[in-house]
Homo-oligomer: A and B are copies of this chain.
Amino acid sequence: MYRTPASNRLHIGIFGKRNTGKSSLINAVTGQDTAIVSEVAGTTTDPVYKAMEILPIGPCMLIDTAGIDDEGLLGDERVKRTLVVLRKTDVGLIVVAPDTKIDNFEEELVKTFKSKKLPFLFIINKCELPGEEAQKYLEESKLPYIKVSAKTNQGIAELKQKIMDIAPGHWSPIPLVADIIDPKDVVVLVCPIDSAMPQGRLILPQVQVMRDCLDSNATALVTKETELLDCLKALKEKPRLVITDSQVFEDVRDMLPAGIPLTSFSTVFARHKGDLNVYIQGVYALEGLKDGDEILIAEACTHHVQPEDIGRTKIPTWFLDHTKKELHYEVTAGGDFPQDISRYKLIISCGGCMVNRREIMHRIEKAREAHVPITNYGILMAYLSGILERIIAPFEGGLVKLDLEFDKAAKGQ
């Protein structure tokens, strides 16, 4: 996981007065199951960034603000430096001791977190020591807190779970493309323009991938499918990667010279917002379906207008064609899965463009608990068109190891 770009690490800012045990807390959180990747030492008042792997959260960046405590700096300068750290912070932790007198220092932080709409949590550290001032204040002010002891490890596991729970729902440890491209690469993005596109702009997933290219010191060549060949001709060398909108996938594949890696925006986001391995594994369940099996088609929102109804019309037609089995479908839209999902033989989730990663991972987790295979629209369509291998190939050297064993198993190898 060493290649995780900084932007895909959960940035945890740790604030607190001197002598509340911030350093020992960081050691306790990262102690057993972490690897310190790098530590950038700064001057005493500069925050220290520590890239770490904290299970079960994943890749994190701990920001130790030891220099921004109550003694190091005066009020105004402290606020200024806090704001700089907060620009990079996903979750804020405010550390106090049981006998800490919570005052203007912590109140200032709470105010700033709230104004920035950043999730935060008080940690009453050294809970093995006496003192009730801090807890009393937090109870009265209705501020969220957790009691831990860096010394005895009490509450540390709960703290990590809590951090996961309050982390922004869109946060993902998996980049869009940063881990599969290199600086100076040219990445071609094929963005067809049709009447469903908003006027005068591009859709967010396309822009997000562009930004990830720039953040990786690569460049993005944006084209419609109709100019793709001209734009390839304009380049001296083959591009590193072509990413296309799924709706023109077949056109693009047919015109692209062999040897140019090709994937789709929906695959990029299936990996970033979900679990590509689970989806790939899930899609092979198709081959084992029997007459009478029940399939759950789960759409995340009710208001997304599809030009033709994928869930209700297209999938049943494709499945009949592919499996020759008589299958039963249930379609849910919006909200959560049905209460009992164990009776389904396969769950097919929509692309999830309108929901965040936390929601998608929650669904994947529920499917896993019920031992029901789950896949999504993009992966399913790629599999049915026989292009699954090609669109996942660009990710093979990526951060997430692709587990392709079941592929061979499904093919009887």
Contact = CB atoms under 8 A, between A and B. Distances in A.
B201 A219 contact: no
B204 A201 contact: yes
Contact of A201 (B207, B220, B221, B222): B207
Given A204-B201, A219-B221, A234 B236 contact: yes
Contacts of A200: 7, 208, 211-212
Interface stretch (A69-77, A191-199, A399-407): A191-199
A61 interface: no
Interface string A210-243: 1111110111111110110011011111000000
Given A186-B234, A234-B237, A235-B235, A211 B219 contact: no
A230 B222 contact: no
A310 interface: no
Interface in A54-100: 87
Contact of A217 (B220, B221, B224): B224
Nearest to A192: B214
B208 A193 contact: no
Interface of A: 7, 87, 183-184, 186, 191, 193, 195, 199-202, 204, 207-208, 210-215, 217-224, 226-227, 230-231, 233-237
A222 B213 contact: yes
A297 to B, nearest CB: 27
B211 A217 contact: no
Given A199-B7, A201-B204, A201-B208, A219 B223 contact: yes
B191 A202 contact: no
A184 B222 contact: no
Contacts of A237: 234
Contacts of A199: 7
A201 B211 contact: yes
B195 A202 contact: no
Copies of this subunit: 2
The DSSP consensus for interface residues of chain A is mixed
A222 B222 contact: yes
Contacts of A236: 233-236
A230 B217 CA distance: 10
Given A7-B199, A7-B200, A235-B234, A222 B210 contact: yes
Nearest to A170: B200
A391 B222 CA distance: 23
A7, A204, A213, A227, most chain B CB atoms within 10 A: A227
A208 B199 CA distance: 9
Nearest to A184: B230
Contacts of A195: 87
30 contacts: A183-B227, A184-B230, A186-B221, A186-B231, A191-B214, A193-B214, A201-B204, A201-B207, A201-B208, A201-B211, A202-B207, A202-B211, A207-B207, A210-B222, A213-B222, A214-B224, A217-B226, A217-B227, A219-B221, A219-B223, A219-B224, A219-B227, A219-B230, A220-B221, A220-B222, A220-B223, A233-B236, A234-B235, A234-B237, A235-B236
Contacts of A201: 204, 207-208, 211
Contacts of A212: 200
Contacts of A213: 222
Contacts of A208: 200-201
A308 to B, nearest CB: 15
A198 to B, nearest CB: 9
A193 B199 CA distance: 25
A199 B279 CA distance: 28
Contacts of A227: 183-184, 217-219
A221 to B, nearest CB: 5
B219 A193 contact: no
